[in-house]
């Protein structure tokens, strides 16, 4: 849900292309695709279109329960899907492209310290006042550049989500890829010393996280060191543009 604080270009063009990232129109969705058109086996559970998320309401800018990505990111995710399908899994998508309006909604929510409706589900170990200082909430998100996705694995044999030992959008060190293990080697250590209340994950849960991570890295994505579910295309086509058009059905 996070990345850098960069400004959107004020120059507006009729169309956008990877070669014009410094001047492309933030309202232009022409280089984006509907994810399920490219990855038809993906399951969608767009959390910010519904109310089961850390805010507790639909997020601004989510006009349809769909997932959008740049064509390049979607093509790479298709390769990931084919990979994990051979292992008995499907991809389940929580979020993909996120308009700046949605990020602004998060910022307003985080500034309202009294709104703790979903605290027990997503940040029970934290005081809401630390969300900016501890970098859980930022004014800009890599999701708005169109090549970042939040996802998990769905086990086709059990017909359930694979147990990752923690929920999507959990605010805490338990969400870090290196929690209880070394993600570079895939080795489980059981070290839960960073958990403020002694939470832990099992060796099996850590291994499940590594299945997702390995497939994503193998097909051109890079991981975030604070969220096991978050990946960005390594060679994203619009590294300097934060798009503003809503999540909707593309024409």
pLDDT (tens digit, 9 = 90+) per residue, 180-190? 999 999 999 99
pLDDT for the residue 23: 40
Mean pLDDT of the chain: 92
Evaluate if residue 7 carries a pLDDT over 70: no
CB atoms within 10 A of CB 13: 12
Evaluate if residue 49 carries a pLDDT over 50: yes
How would you classify the pairing of strands 160-161 and 68-70? unpaired
pLDDT for the residue 25: 75
pTM, two decimals, is: 0.91
**What DSSP line would sit under 25-88, residue for residue?**
-TT--TTEEEHHHH-TT-EE--TTTSS-SSSSSPPTTB-SS--EEEHHHHHHHHHHHHHHHHTT
Query: For residue 197, is it left (φ>0), alpha (ψ between -120 and 50) or beta?
Result: alpha
pLDDT for the residue 11: 27
CA–CA gap between residue 87 and residue 75 (Å, rounded): 19
Residue 41 belongs to a domain with what CATH number?
3.30.1380.10
Q: Is residue 250 part of a domain?
A: no
pLDDT for the residue 19: 46
Q: Is residue 215 part of a domain?
A: no
Q: Is residue 151 part of a domain?
A: yes
Task: Supply 227's token pair.
Answer: 């969220």
To the query of whether residue 22 is one of the catalytic residues in this protein, the response is no
pLDDT for the residue 251: 84
pLDDT for the residue 53: 98
Contact 29, 69 (CB under 8 A): no
pLDDT tens-digit readout, 120-144: 999 999 999 999 999 999 999 999 9
Q: Is residue 212 part of a domain?
A: no
Q: Is residue 8 part of a domain?
A: no
Domain limits for position 157: 18-163+229-233
Evaluate if residue 113 carries a pLDDT over 90: yes
Helices (H), the chain: 35-38, 71-86, 100-111, 119-122, 203-218
Number of domains in the chain: 1
pLDDT tens-digit readout, 204-234: 999 999 999 999 999 999 999 999 999 999 9
Task: Give mean pLDDT, residues 15-37.
Answer: 75
Q: Is residue 2 part of a domain?
A: no
The residue from 45, 72, 174, 227 that is catalytic is: 227
Q: Is residue 242 part of a domain?
A: no
Q: Is residue 172 part of a domain?
A: no
pLDDT for the residue 16: 61
């Amino acid at each position: 849900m996070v990345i850098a604080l960069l400004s959107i270009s004020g120059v507006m063009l009729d169309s956008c292309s990877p070669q014009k990232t410094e001047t492309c129109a933030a309202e232009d969705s022409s280089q984006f695709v509907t994810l399920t058109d490219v990855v038809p086996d993906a399951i969608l559970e767009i959390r910010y279109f519904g109310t089961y998320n850390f805010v507790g309401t639909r997020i601004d800018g989510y006009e349809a329960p769909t997932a959008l990505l740049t064509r390049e990111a979607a093509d790479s995710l298709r390769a990931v899907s084919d990979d994990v399908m051979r292992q008995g899994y499907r991809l389940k998508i929580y979020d993909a492209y996120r308009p700046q309006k949605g990020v602004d909604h998060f910022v307003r929510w985080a500034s309202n310290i009294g709104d703790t409706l979903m605290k027990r589900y997503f940040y029970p170990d934290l005081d809401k006042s630390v969300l900016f200082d501890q970098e859980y909430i930022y004014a800009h998100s890599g999701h708005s550049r169109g090549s970042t996705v939040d996802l998990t694995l769905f086990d086709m044999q059990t017909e359930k989500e694979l147990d990752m030992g923690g929920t999507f959008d959990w605010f805490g060190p338990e969400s870090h890829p290196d929690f209880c293990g070394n993600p570079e080697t895939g080795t489980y250590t059981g070290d839960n010393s960073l958990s403020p209340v002694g939470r832990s994950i099992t060796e099996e849960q850590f291994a499940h996280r590594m299945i997702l991570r390995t497939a994503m890295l193998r097909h051109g994505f890079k991981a975030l060191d604070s969220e096991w579910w978050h990946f960005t295309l390594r060679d994203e086509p619009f590294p300097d543009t934060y798009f503003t058009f809503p999540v909707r059905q593309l024409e």
